Structure 1
Amino acid sequence: MKRIRSVKKYLSDIDEKGTFFIGVQVDSKIKDKLNENFKNIGKKEPLFIPNPYIGIMSERNTVGEIVPDKTKPKEICYKAQSWTVKHWDGTPQSGITEVPYLGYPKRFTPPQNFYFRYLENPKHNDSLLIIDKKFTNTHDEFDDIKFCINLVLEIFSEAETFIIKGKKLEPIIKKVPWEVLPKGEQIWKAFKDGKSYPNISKSERYLIKERFDYIESFKPDNEYQGTAGYTGYVVFCFENKQLYILDSVIYGNATYIFSDSWENVSKLSKKEIIQGNLEKKRIIHSPNWKRELKKELTE
C-alpha cells in the first residue's frame, strides 16, 4: 500500500482520545532501507527528516509544495526545457530555455517538518522507527495522522500505530541544522554526484548549477549545506553586507534573503521562518531571478 484516504483502519484499536505513535518496526527490510538512505540513523543521529526526493509526501514534509491556484485567472508562467543542437561541423551545443506557457499562478504551502526518531532496543530486537510526535485519536488531528501515515508508507511501504508505555521519549535536541563546507569548496560539488537527489532532471540539474554559480560569482564568505529540516537547501553568507542567502535545490521554489544574524535564523525551522515573515526578501525562481538577486547584492 502506498497511500490511504481514511485513518479509520489504523485507529480501530486505539481508544477515543487515546495517544499513540506512527512508524514501523525495524526488521531486516526496514534496516536495508535505512542503511541505503540514512546511514547515521541509530548511530550518530537519533532524529532525521526524509530527503525531499523520496516522493511527494517527503517533499511536502521537508520543503513544502508549490501548487496551482485555480481560484485565480491564468497568467504567463515559465518552465525549464533542455536542448541540444549540432553545428555544421558536428560540434554539439547544449543549454536551457525558459519556455513560457499559460497557467494558473502558484501558491506555496509551507513544509510540515515531521521528524523521525529511532528507538533502539538491541536486547529484545524490537527497535522502532517512529514519527517524533505523540498523536491523539481526535478528529482535530486526523489530517496530521493521515499525512504521517502516508509519509511512512511512501518511504517504507508499510506503517503501524504504537502505544508506547513505560518509555520516556526525550524531546527533540535543538541544534543548528547546517554544516559548513570546507573553505574554497563550491557548494555545487555537494550535489552534482546525484546520489542524494537522484530524481533531479537534466534541466533542473543545469538550473541548480547555474543558480549556485551565479551566487558564488559575488564571492560569499562562507557556504553551508542543509541537514535535518533543511535537507535540499544551501546557504551563502555575505558577512560584510550582512546578507544571508538561503536557496532551494528544487527549481520553482524560491531564494530567501536574510539580514538578521544567521545564527538566530538557522535555529528556526523553514516553516517558522516563512510563517513569521522573517526574510528580508523572497525571490521566486523565474527569468527575473538574476536581476532581482543582483539588485540585493550590489545596492
Structure 2
Amino acid sequence: MDATVIQKRRIRKLANYFHGVEVGQQVTVGIPVTPENQSRLQSIGFDKLAEGETILPRVIGPITRFNADGKEKIRRDLEKETCYRSQEWKRQEWRGKGETEEVMDWVDIPYKRYPREHIPAPSVELTCVINAEAQRLVIAPAFAYAENSELLLHTVNLFLEVFQEAHILGENRQPVRLPTLKRLSWHVLPPGEQPWEQLKKGLITDSGELKGLQ
C-alpha cells in the first residue's frame, strides 16, 4: 500500500505535511500492521490484533500521557493563589517531670503559586481494521482536515511517539496521494550593472519562458 508517510519525532504544523489536502477533507492517521511493529502494538495494549479491537494506548511518553491523563497549564496571566502542601514536622512533647518525647506531626504549609488550568485528555483510541485490500491496519478516528486542528496534530504526534511514523489515509482507509513538490532553485545575479541582452541569455529560454519554471 503506497501512502504518504510522516517520519519525524514530532511535528508542529500540519500544513507542512498535508500539502494538497483540502480543508474539510476527511483524513485518517494510521499504520499498517507488520511483523516489525507487532510487538510494539501489543506493548501499548493490543491483544490479538483482531479486527475491531480498540484500545487507549498505554503511556510510553509525554504524548501518550497527555492522551490518557490530560495535563495542567500554568496560568501566568492570572494572579497567584494560596495553596498548601503537607510537610512532616518533628517536635518535643512534654511527658511530665521535666521529660520530653520526640513526636511527629503533619502540618500544612501555605505558599503562593500561579493557578493551574486542567486540559482534558484527548483520549484518542486506536482500532485494528482490515481495508479493501485485505491489509490489516491500526488507525485513529477520521478527522476533517484543518490547518489549525489541534486534535489531528495530536493524533499524528501520538503515532510518531509510538511508531516513529504516521501514514495519512483518506476515505475508505485508502492512501492519500499528495502531490510531489517541485522545488525551484534561485540563481543570484552578480553585483553591478549588466546590459539586458546579457542578462536575458541566463533568464529567458528560446521559447520566451523563464528558466526554471518549465
Indicate the TM-score class for this superposition, using the shorter chain for normalisation. 0.5 to 0.7
Alpha-carbon distance in 2 for matches of 1:144, 1:103: 30
Alpha-carbon distance in 1 for matches of 2:20, 2:114: 43
Alpha-carbon distance in 2 for matches of 1:33, 1:129: 12
- Find the partner of 1:65 among 48, 63, 71: 71
Check whether the contact 1:20–1:135 (CA below 8 A) recurs between aligned residues.
yes
* C-alpha displacement of 1:131: 0.6
Q: Who is 1:103 aligned against? A: 113
Please say if 1:21 is aligned against 2:31: no
Alpha-carbon distance in 2 for matches of 1:97, 1:129: 51
User: Residues 114 and 37 from structure 1, CA distance in 2 versus in 1: closer, same or farther, beyond 3 angstroms?
Assistant: closer
Alpha-carbon distance in 2 for matches of 1:138, 1:67: 24
Tell me which amino acid in the other structure corresponds to 1:55. G
Q: Who is 1:147 aligned against? A: 154
Relative to the length of structure 2, the TM-score reads 0.57
Tell me which amino acid in the other structure corresponds to 1:11. F
Q: Who is 2:129 aligned against? A: 119
| Larger-Rg structure | 2
Please say if 1:136 is aligned against 2:120: no
In proportion to residue count, which structure has more helix?
Answer: 1
* Identity %, equivalent residues: 22
- Find the partner of 1:36 among 39, 43, 49: 43
* C-alpha displacement of 1:41: 5.2
Relative to the length of structure 1, the TM-score reads 0.42
Alpha-carbon distance in 1 for matches of 2:107, 2:48: 40
User: Residues 113 and 165 from structure 1, CA distance in 2 versus in 1: closer, same or farther, beyond 3 angstroms?
Assistant: same
Check whether the contact 2:70–2:120 (CA below 8 A) recurs between aligned residues.
yes
Tell me which amino acid in the other structure corresponds to 1:135. F
The unaligned stretches of length 5 or more in structure 2 are 1-7, 88-105, 175-214
Q: Who is 1:158 aligned against? A: 165
Alpha-carbon distance in 1 for matches of 2:86, 2:33: 41
Alpha-carbon distance in 2 for matches of 1:98, 1:26: 52
Q: Who is 1:56 aligned against? A: 62
Alpha-carbon distance in 1 for matches of 2:143, 2:9: 21
Check whether the contact 1:18–1:136 (CA below 8 A) recurs between aligned residues.
yes
Per-residue deviation, residues 18-43 of structure 1 (Å, max 9, x unmatched): 22201222222321201223242523
Check whether the contact 2:46–2:55 (CA below 8 A) recurs between aligned residues.
no
| Number of aligned residue pairs | 150
Tell me which amino acid in the other structure corresponds to 2:115. P
Check whether the contact 2:51–2:129 (CA below 8 A) recurs between aligned residues.
no
Check whether the contact 1:41–1:48 (CA below 8 A) recurs between aligned residues.
no
Check whether the contact 2:46–2:53 (CA below 8 A) recurs between aligned residues.
no
Check whether the contact 1:57–1:151 (CA below 8 A) recurs between aligned residues.
yes
Per-residue deviation, residues 74-121 of structure 1 (Å, max 9, x unmatched): 34446789xxxxxxxxxxxxxx99887543221111121221111136
Check whether the contact 2:28–2:173 (CA below 8 A) recurs between aligned residues.
no
- Find the partner of 2:54 among 36, 47, 59: 47
Alpha-carbon distance in 2 for matches of 1:166, 1:67: 35
Per-residue deviation, residues 145-184 of structure 1 (Å, max 9, x unmatched): 11111111111111121124389xxxxxxxxxxxxxxxxx
